A and B are shown apart, each in its own frame.
Chain A
Amino acid sequence: MELGNLASLQAFYPELLLTAATLVIVLIDLLTSDKSWLGEVALISTSGALLLIGVGPLDGGAWLFRRMLVYDSFSIFFRALIALAALVAVWMSIGSQEVRRCEQGEYYSILLASALGMLLMTESANLLMAYLSLEFVSLTSYVLTGILRHNRRSQEAALKYLIYGGVASGTMIYGMSWIFGMAGSLDFMAINRALFATSHIPVLAVFIALVLILSGLGYKVASVPFHMWAPDVYEGAPIPITTFLAVGSKAAGFALMTRFFYPAISHLGPDGNWQPLNQVAWPQLLLVVCIITMTLGNLAALQQQNMKRMLAYSSIAQAGYALMGFVLLSNDGLIAMLVYLFAYYVMDAGAFLVVMIVANLTGSEDISAYRGLAWRRGGALLAISLTIFLLSLTGIPATIGFIGKFYVFAAAIRERFYILAVIGILNSVVSLYYYMRPVKAMFLEQPVDSVSAVTVEYWNYGLMGVLALATIFLGLYPPPIISFASNSLRFFISSS
């Protein structure tokens, strides 16, 4: 089904709502002097967008806006994930002391605009749309990273992000121009038809073009060798933005990457396995990228003293695990990737939330600030929650992280990628060491400050409780998320 411009709007309500909310926040910011409730407006809009995604009108999917966007169950999964990430980011922003010091109107309108760009990324079905939405997300993220104007680290992080991002997306569109030249179209399905039509495609040229395109997409998911910005940006940005980039931006990157590498330049076989273009070795290349990404992320995290930086390297490693599902060229692998990304959302958002609460209390993000946290008055709940999130990131059973890792490794073994699975498991063992360092500091070391009590606002406690319970509950009873992911893996690729 191909919908015209007006008919497409019925599948486009979440994006329309976010657009309206962005403009409304800018207007309120201009008109009123009390800006303290702008965060609540943003919170209501993101919840509204999430609800609207949930009540999507169409079955089976459709092309929207003359084949610029595609609406299918795959995009619904990622739109829901991104709306959840935006919801958590806005919720955290309201409870964050860093954010209270910056311009509220600018901050929330740009945050919602960034979420809008991520939603568009998950739906793009055209190289132009893919580039525009990716750049939309990048430009808004640069501003959000540098939003603390008088903080030197925040500015440095924004500059590094801008430079890496500009080069990566420039390289990506240069690669896209070669694909456009060879296929004669920007439309994903037309590219697919053109590349599979002949058996004499210029293999080397296609491969180089794909490598160039991978630079832009790899930069969004922070995979090696385009990961260099991640630790600096995650450390310098305000923590709610770090969370949003780590969870939302990464999910959007995976969505676009999957849509480009799977339906656009591969064919789905009857047995659920995908056939890549003949002799174009992108799966092999990505296999190497995946192994290096998780190993490098875990090894670099071992020696970090700053929690945000450690979680940044850990999120590089987590992207490596999700890539394991991506390189298997099978529907099972992709379902495992979706499950993993959802699990990653819950546990990583939780870990960053605790880091934010501790930074609110102590003003420090170093692991030394966590010493004896469990034994301070009122600190036990915080310490237990952080332990749950870190155990989940390691992949200990009875947490959602275990379910994610189990599905990814199981899919790898089913596709006979034994060495990949072994490397993944060894990596999990290595990661246990650095994930347990804050836990050891919290439970086994003497408190720095045993007198004053730990006070946490109910606002932050509420979200922390929800995320911690979700980590445990979905770890013990995973069917809801498994069935959501496996129902979501249907790309809308009718060519008519």
Chain B
Amino acid sequence: MAGLTLNHFLVLGLILFLLGGYCVLARRNAIGILLGIELILNAANINYVAFSFYGGQAAKYDGQVFAIFVIMLAAAEAVIGLAIVLAIYQNLRTIDVSATESLSG
């Protein structure tokens, strides 16, 4: 790992986080938005693992365990998300979020 420092990973995490945020804001497609959320979660994962790796003995495994839990919950969230998107598709015949406007005001 010559030349790689904590900062490299943090910048990578930040870039992923911003890309995820952009994806959520810019996409109109529900699946695209779910993908953006996954990017945000992975940005956090990179931070946890990097802090854990460079953070010394006290928290050696905490960050890695956190990352594993986040991966698991991201899967659970994707399952529920896709089920809801499927139900929306059956009702509306589209998964464009701008079509979901019967609730507003």
Contacts and interface: CB of A to CB of B under 8 A. Distances in A.
Are A and B bound to each other?
yes
Given A160-B103, A184-B56, A166 B77 contact: yes
Interface string A109-143: 00000000000000000011001100100010011
Interface string B47-68: 1101100011011001101100
Contacts of B44: 170, 173-174, 176-177
A177 B100 contact: no
A153 interface: yes
Nearest to B89: A155
B103 A235 contact: yes
A236 B80 contact: no
Contacts of A157: 103
B77 A139 contact: yes
Interface of B: 10, 13, 17, 20-21, 24, 30, 33-34, 36-37, 40-41, 43-44, 47-48, 50-51, 55-56, 58-59, 62-63, 65-66, 69-70, 73, 76-77, 80-81, 84-85, 87-88, 91-92, 97, 100, 102-105
A interface majority secondary structure: helix
A142 B103 contact: no
Q: Which 3 A-B pairs have the closest CB atoms?
A: A170-B40, A177-B47, A181-B51
13 contacts: A139-B73, A153-B102, A155-B92, A156-B103, A159-B85, A167-B21, A167-B37, A167-B40, A173-B41, A180-B47, A180-B59, A181-B47, A185-B58
A171 interface: yes
Given A155-B88, A166-B77, 12 more contacts: A128-B65, A128-B66, A139-B80, A142-B84, A159-B84, A166-B37, A170-B37, A173-B70, A180-B51, A180-B66, A181-B50, A181-B55
Contacts of B30: 159, 163
A150 interface: yes
A185 B70 CA distance: 17
B97 A163 contact: yes
- Interface centre among B17, B58, B100, by most chain A C-beta atoms within 10 angstroms, is B100
B103 A146 contact: no
Given A166-B81, A171-B40, A174-B43, A232 B103 contact: yes
Interface residues of A, number: 42
A288 to B, nearest CB: 22
A152 B51 contact: no
Given A135-B73, A156-B103, A177-B47, A170 B41 contact: yes
Contacts of A180: 47-48, 51, 59, 62-63, 66
Contacts of B102: 152-153, 156
B59 A155 contact: no
Contact of A150 (B34, B62, B77, B91): B91
Contacts of A463: none
A155 B87 contact: yes
Given A167-B40, A171-B40, A177-B44, A132 B73 contact: yes
Contacts of A231: 103, 105
Contact of A146 (B33, B62, B84): B84
Most buried by B among A157, A178, A184, A236: A184
B73 A152 contact: no
A174 to B, nearest CB: 4
